[in-house]
Amino acid sequence: MLRILKGMWVFCLLFLASPLSLAGAGLKAGVAKVEITPPTGLRMYGFSNRKGGSTGTLDPLMARVLVLEAGEKRLALVVLDLGRPFAEAWIQRLREDARKTSGISYVLLAAIHTHSGPAIRDEYPPKQSPDWETGVLEKVEKAIAEACQHLAEARLGTGYGSVDIGHNRLRLEPDGTIFWFERNNTMVPTSPVDPTVSVLRVDTAAGEPLAILVNYACHPVVFGSDNLQYSADYPGVMSRTVEQAFAGKPLCMFVQGAPGDINPYYAVHPLGQDAVKMRDWTGERLGGEAARVAKSIETAASDATLDFAEDLLEFRPRWNMEKFREAVRASWGPEAAESFERRRGAMPRLPVATVLINKRIALMTVPGEAFVQHQMAWRQRCPVRDAFFLGYANGDYGYFPTIRAASLGGYGAANTATWVEVGAGERMVDHAIVKVYEMLGQLTDTPEDLKK
């Protein structure tokens, strides 16, 4: 009897001395941000009719970093106040550097899609060629390292709200034609639109807010081509609004969704007609709802798991290539046509990332401009309740309309702005859903016959 009691006492001591291995390790998180505003004079992103380079800065462009750690896995989510992510070679360089310096297993790079940032070159330049992107990469790498230095036990929670700040810019007319509905100052109802504000709150172990991720689908184009100053557009105002609601304690990150056919009500608003006021209204309206939701979230600690995968999917070009080149030259001019040739002549494999946090929070990425119904389908069909859709992530391969939208036509649906085969968006969503089921262990590579 004494031997049995002694054995039980030793077991209890071992149990208390090793809670992580037996009870499950907690999730760790760290955040950082750094300004990435480039020098003035650069060509700006987003509007083909914009004349001249940038003349100044309306509000600084930032890179925001959230690092999550579970066991030996480290994921860095980097959100840039830019029109699109960097070219593939820059992304690979950042990932390799972050792996070496900070032990990062995977870097997910996303852009907010502001049209008031610098143009991003399509190819990685030779070492002797000057570029501003390299300096930004170095700053981001240091920010990732800073976030890793402050990793601490964290708690997660999610919440949802609803707000209307935009409209569907491809309006279907009674005769079956598509009308380019760029600006909607009177806020006429349109469809489809996704008003869902998805919020992920990351707290310290003590319950203090550390990071607030806001996922929403709307083009950041309150400013139009007449604006020549750098700006994060309404997402920058949204982030400040949320941070101010929490006394500046957390880092707020705007994670763009699937706004391929969604414009803000006050799109391309002329500077001379209170464009800054309209930008602030849009950002404050979204930020106010995001802050309300964030404050209602109760975070909780749980056994940490972190699963992620980036898969390269092969697609065919959508168009007859000779006709496509002819249309590009006619629509965009010879200089743009040359760029299109380099980037779109041979269809590359497109990266689609899937992330599953604690077996209950899923993220999927699309490397470009997905139409809003893809986001809605992902959230409805994902096998876990909390499903976030990240557009403009890990690459930029144009628009991904739904199959129906492609058949109806319009900008981003049937012109040269979309060049990947019809159905690509649906296939990406299907792929991410399958990956989540696999990460949950509900789909395996072993037939049931062998499990009996």
**Tens digit of pLDDT per residue, the chain (452 long)?**
434 333 433 333 333 333 332 234 689 999 999 999 999 999 999 998 898 899 999 999 999 999 999 999 999 999 999 999 999 989 999 999 999 999 999 999 999 999 999 999 887 766 656 789 989 999 999 999 999 999 999 999 999 999 999 999 999 999 999 999 999 999 999 999 999 999 999 999 999 999 999 999 999 999 999 999 999 999 999 999 999 999 999 999 999 999 999 999 999 999 999 999 999 999 999 999 999 999 999 999 988 999 999 999 999 999 888 888 888 888 767 766 666 665 555 667 999 999 999 999 999 999 999 999 999 999 999 999 999 999 999 999 999 999 999 999 999 999 999 999 999 999 999 999 999 999 999 999 889 888 66
Q: Are 411 and 417 in contact (CB under 8 A)?
A: yes
Output the six-digit token pair for 9. 């006492």
Report domain extents, the chain.
24-439
361-388 burial, b if ≥16 CB within 10 A, otherwise e? bbbbbbbbbbbbbbbbbbbeebebebbb
> Measured on CA atoms in the order 390, 199, 75, 436, is the torsion positive or negative?
negative
| pLDDT at site 17 | 34
| pLDDT at site 173 | 94
| pLDDT at site 131 | 85
What is the rounded distance in angstroms from the CA atom of residue 136 to the CA atom of residue 346?
29
Output the six-digit token pair for 44. 């700006």
| pLDDT at site 344 | 56
| pLDDT at site 13 | 34
* H/E run at residue 277: helix 275-296
* Residue whose structure tokens are 């077991």: 11
Q: Are 355 and 307 in contact (CB under 8 A)?
A: yes
- Which residue intervals of 201-274 are DSSP H helices? 233-245
Phi, psi of 43 (to 5 degrees): -65, 140
Number of Cβ within 10 Å of residue 192's Cβ equals 15
What is the rounded distance in angstroms from the CA atom of residue 227 to the CA atom of residue 271?
7
| pLDDT at site 338 | 67
